[in-house]
Structure 1
Amino acid sequence: MSEPTRRIDYWQDPNAPKPTSRKTSASIFVRDGEGRLLLLRRVDNDLWTIPTGGVKKGETVGQAGVRECREETGLDVEVVGLVGVFSTPHHVIAYLHGDRVDEVRQPINICLRARLVGGEIRPQPSEAAEVRWVAPADIGEYEIHPALMERIVHGLTSADPYIA
């Protein structure tokens, strides 16, 4: 049986491996009626994040975000705005299969605001170990990568789109 793919996120690390690719991803920033933010715990690095995934051929960024949210959490959302475009070279992701590095990606993320329209929390075991609604005051209690925290903080504190 082959080993699962692991993910290592680097942030402002001069010793990080050099990127071999760039890929666009979509993330979803969605709050419930009580103002809590939807978070999930990734299975490939055990960190908390908002729903996020790659944009596939033949779909829009919005469609990718909606699909990823449904796949990872079981919840259906509708895109209502833009949190921002995050493309810092300080964030590099290495994907490993066993001890072999398959890819080192410098991501371009388009973070979308969304509203909940249906579904129920049902994490897919291959996508999320856990899914929960988290009060903004409690976000600091979760282990979140700095690149994702940047998106979350901007989404919580500004209505203006972030472009960098």
Structure 2
Amino acid sequence: MRVTGLIGVYSDPDHVIAYDDGEVRQQFALSFSAELLGGELERSDESPDIRWVADNELDELPMHPSIRLRVDHGFEDRAEPDIG
């Protein structure tokens, strides 16, 4: 796979995780576009079900709204990344 661009940087200042040991974190995610160069899809402990889907199949998939936003931004082929 070859990375072709940055889709966006995603974070929510209202979503802060405080651990019992006093550590506090604000999560963020970087979403990239990429070109498939070869290989095979492989499952993992974090991704037990994987497959390629067309954009018109996305509404049928259970997906958290924050993830769907990132996927939609990827399909929009924006000139600039979302940094919200």
> Do these two structures clear the TM 0.5 threshold for a shared fold by scoring above it?
yes
Alignment pair present for 1:140 and 2:68 = no
- How many residue pairs get aligned? The number is 80
Matches within 5 A, 1:1-164: 77-91=1-15, 105-124=25-44, 126-159=45-78, 160-164=80-84
Q: Give CA-to-partner distance per residue, 1:56-109, whole Å, 9 cap, x none.
A: xxxxxxxxxxxxxxxxxxxxx111111011112355679xxxxx9xx8753111
Query: The residue matched to 1:155 in structure 2 has which SS?
Result: helix
Cα RMSD over matched residues? Answer: 2.3
Query: The residue matched to 2:75 in structure 1 has which SS?
Result: helix
Q: Give CA-to-partner distance per residue, 1:106-158, whole Å, 9 cap, x none.
A: 3111111111112111212x121111011101101111111111101111124
TM-score normalised per structure 2: 0.78
Could you tell me which runs of 5 or more consecutive residues in structure 2 were left unpaired when the two chains were aligned.
none
- Counterpart Cα distance in 2 of 1:142 and 1:92: 27
Seq. identity, %: 41
Sort the Cα spacing of 1:91 and 1:121 in 2 relative to 1 into closer, same or farther, 3 A: same
- Counterpart Cα distance in 1 of 2:13 and 2:71: 18
TM-score normalised per structure 1: 0.43
Query: The residue matched to 2:73 in structure 1 has which SS?
Result: helix
Task: Determine which structure has the larger strand proportion and give its number.
Answer: 1
Could you tell me which runs of 5 or more consecutive residues in structure 1 were left unpaired when the two chains were aligned.
1-76, 95-99
Query: The residue matched to 1:121 in structure 2 has which SS?
Result: coil
